Amino acid sequence: MRVLLGGMSLGEKVGQLNLLAGAMDVTGMRDSGDLEGKVLSGECGAVFNVYTAGATRALQELALRSRQGIPLIFGYDVIHGHRTIFPHPLGLSCSWNLGLIERCARAAAVEAAADGLHWVFSPMVDISHDPRWGRVAEGAGEDPWLGSKIAVAMVRGYQGEDLADPAAVVACVKHFALYGAPLGGRDYHTVDMSRRAMEETYFPPYRAAIDAGARTVMTSFNEIDGVPASGNRWLLTELLRGNWGFTGWIVTDYTAVSEMKCHGTAGTDGDAARQAIEAGVDMDMVSEAFAGELPELVKSGAVDEALIDAAVMRVLETKWDLGLFADPFARCDEAKAAAVMLSGQTRQLAREAAREAMVLLKNDNSLLPLSKDLKVALIGPLGESRRDMLGCWIAAGDEAHAVAPLEGIRAVLGERGQVSFAPGCEVNDANAEWLGQAIEAANQADLVILTLGESWQMSGEAASRTDIRLPMCQRDLARQILETGKPCVLVTLSGRPLDLSWEDSAFGAILHAWALGTEGGHALAEVLFGDAAPVGKLTMGFPRSVGQLPMTYREKPTGRPFDPASAYTSKYLDSPNTPLFPFGHGLTYGEFHCSAVSIDAAEMSAGGVIQVSLVITNIGKVAATESLQLYLRDLVASVSRPVKELRGFQRVTLAPGEARTVAFAITDADLAFPGRDLLPVVEPGEFEAMIGVSSAVFQSVRFTRLDAAV
């Protein structure tokens, strides 16, 4: 690589740092223009929004005809699958199944690589406490501990054991950093937070992904302490490369370099390019500020060419590790692509993932599962929508291959049951004729399944909302269907937590299905009619009102904690403090009893281990699965600590009448936190361990962690 670098002109070096967009997809505001000419002249090192074996081969052949013949790397927004679409990341995170999440990432990598791709802009590991922000759909929710575990699983799934494997792709951790906390939940808006909040809540998943070997990192659009991420040397060089030891390469998000002018920290593209390269950015996505400005900046002495050389080496080394210099067409195999795309095995995995992503929020009087012998009316604007089942950011996914709820229900019922369908309204608009048809269908049925929620455009990037209730027309539809008096199950689909306060008061059974992906309709029907039981647990709480946001179960205690008997404590006048459905919540088709928590010792020595456990018994009539969660609290510390923090979970499947002891081992690593100097510390004192079925329903016990000197 050093020999190759030594023979490159300054323009060719800068070309390797230029990421351009093709026209097979539109994911931003700017077109790269004359892509083929720039590739042939060596002015481009990587391309995104171009896929398929034929399209990538054609551009790769042009790159090999350039003076240096350096192969391109092809990237794409493979967020929750490539051709086969899995539940969007927030939904999939609700499976709490790390092995399943890794397998989904592996399957996405296999399809993407067979379609000519080398690099995926995933995982998005931004923690968020605000479902107004549309991009919560792309992340793993509100908890940094679970988010870190999921980040690791996804990196492993994408990159595999060897990047040279033609079925492996490079992972890109995004958006570095803090992108999930914009003011007001408004996408691209300002982020302002303390260093403690960064270290305790937002940084852990990024660092976990990097420790797992992620080769690339994408900068965020926001500023950090007044300096945009793409020009922030403290963030990219001192912290990421210096403190965390990251050795891969850093790419900006779409046109983020030139956007520093809008931030007001750069006056020209040249100024922005200089700030970005000096901060530690290696590759400029689409803005072409690097390509247009860096050569003259180097010639004038404003930028040290050594910075360019270091960035180019990081890019070239990744291309080498991908095997591109040995065989630039290894991922351009049309026969392999035809064999792996939407294969039966991958679709079965997508169905499994969709089943586990759903969260049963409420099931009064065990209305679910449903009998297959009933006459069912499926009502709602999402009932026969394939596209909305896929959700946002579907890459090369095609709705023609997706299964809508109506199709899934018909397949499950077969000849035994009857199902009619009426949309009732559009997603955002009332329709009087459709409403009348829906009421008639309900009156003629034994039971109604209402499918309400967001269309695919209502979540994802640039899709923030100030009102996260169901649209008014859908709530009106729901009221009219309830007035028929027919038993009614509510199925909600969305890319974010919703305010379902009215629905909670009106419906006895609510199943939240997110956006389930290609096999979503089949999976939904299987859960509704009992061929599978829901196992999902929320990774982001549902608020009672948008006025509670941002919101997290990991809140800090205040000097005046909530006390219903005292006016001068932390609370609202018009709402409880608690979420409607808390983090970790999710029901199933069964009933469990948990004993009190026991502990094997009252004291834990420094560097030692203490075990907490309880007995869980299936007191229901069917085999069922429950996920028990371990939360810890440091009761007195040198800095204020959250009222509880997730530190473990275990899934347990029990037959009727079966009981099992579930134990968690607690070590110093579980008790550590950033001290006053923001460095990790474990302090002696009293701790509380909580084991339960959610962050709000648990049994607890206390223990003392001794000082090392004792």
Question: Residue 279: its pLDDT value, please?
Answer: 98
Beta bridge partners of 598: 613
Question: Residue 26: its pLDDT value, please?
Answer: 76
Quickly count: other Cβ atoms within 10 Å of residue 289's Cβ.
29
Cα distances from 127 to residues 90, 246, 332, in angstroms, run 11, 20, 35
DSSP helix/strand/coil, 453 = strand
Nearest partner of 180 among 202, 195, 197, judged by Cα: 202
Q: Are 632 and 671 in contact (CB under 8 A)?
A: yes
Distance CA 454, CA 494 (A): 5
DSSP assignment of 586-618 = -B-SS-EEE---EES-SEE-TT-EEEEEEEEEE
Q: Are 538 and 94 in contact (CB under 8 A)?
A: yes
Q: Please count the CA atoms within 13 angstroms of the CA of 43 that sit on its side-chain side.
A: 20
Backbone angles phi, psi at 36, to 5 degrees: -65, -40
How do the domains of the chain map onto residue ranges?
Answer: 13-78+117-220+308-334, 346-548, 592-705
CATH topology of domain 346-548: Rossmann fold (3.40.50)
Distance CA 330, CA 334 (A): 11
Question: Residue 2: its pLDDT value, please?
Answer: 85
Strands (E), 426-554: 447-453, 488-493, 509-512
Q: Is the peptide bond before 175 cis (omega within 30 degrees of 0)?
A: yes
Residue 186 burial (C-beta neighbours within 10 Å; 0-12, 13-18, 19+): middle
Cα distances from 601 to residues 210, 610, 682, 702, 703, in angstroms, run 36, 7, 19, 10, 8
Distance CA 348, CA 121 (A): 24
Question: Residue 82: its pLDDT value, please?
Answer: 98
Distance CA 239, CA 261 (A): 24
Backbone angles phi, psi at 72, to 5 degrees: -80, 155
Structure tokens at 8: 């490159």
| CATH class as words, domain 592-705 | mainly beta
365: left (phi over 0), alpha (psi -120 to 50) or beta: left
Contacts of 633 by beta carbon, 8 Å cutoff, 6+ apart: 641, 642, 643, 644, 645, 687, 688, 690
Question: Residue 417: its pLDDT value, please?
Answer: 79
Q: Are 167 and 177 in contact (CB under 8 A)?
A: no
Q: Are strands 375-379 and 673-674 parallel, antiparallel or unpaired?
A: unpaired
Tens digits of residue pLDDT in 655-680: 999 999 999 999 999 999 999 999 99
Tens digits of residue pLDDT in 306-349: 999 999 999 999 999 999 999 999 999 899 999 999 999 999 99
Nearest partner of 424 among 462, 473, 469, judged by Cα: 473
DSSP assignment of 178-223 = TTT--GGG-TT------HHHIIIIIHHHHHHHHHTT--EEEE-SSE
Distance CA 121, CA 168 (A): 14
Nearest partner of 272 among 310, 219, 316, judged by Cα: 219
Would you please indicate which residues are annotated as catalytic (active-site) residues? 253
Strands (E), 53-210: 73-76, 119-120, 170-176
Distance CA 544, CA 578 (A): 8
Beta bridge partners of 599: 612
Distance CA 281, CA 217 (A): 10
Nearest partner of 230 among 248, 250, 257, 207, judged by Cα: 257
Backbone angles phi, psi at 75, to 5 degrees: -120, 165
Residues of the chain predicted below pLDDT 70: 29-31, 709-710
Q: Please count the CA atoms within 13 angstroms of the CA of 313 that sit on its side-chain side.
A: 12
Tens digits of residue pLDDT in 49-66: 999 999 999 999 999 999
Question: Residue 3: its pLDDT value, please?
Answer: 86
| CATH class as words, domain 13-78+117-220+308-334 | alpha beta
Question: Residue 30: its pLDDT value, please?
Answer: 67
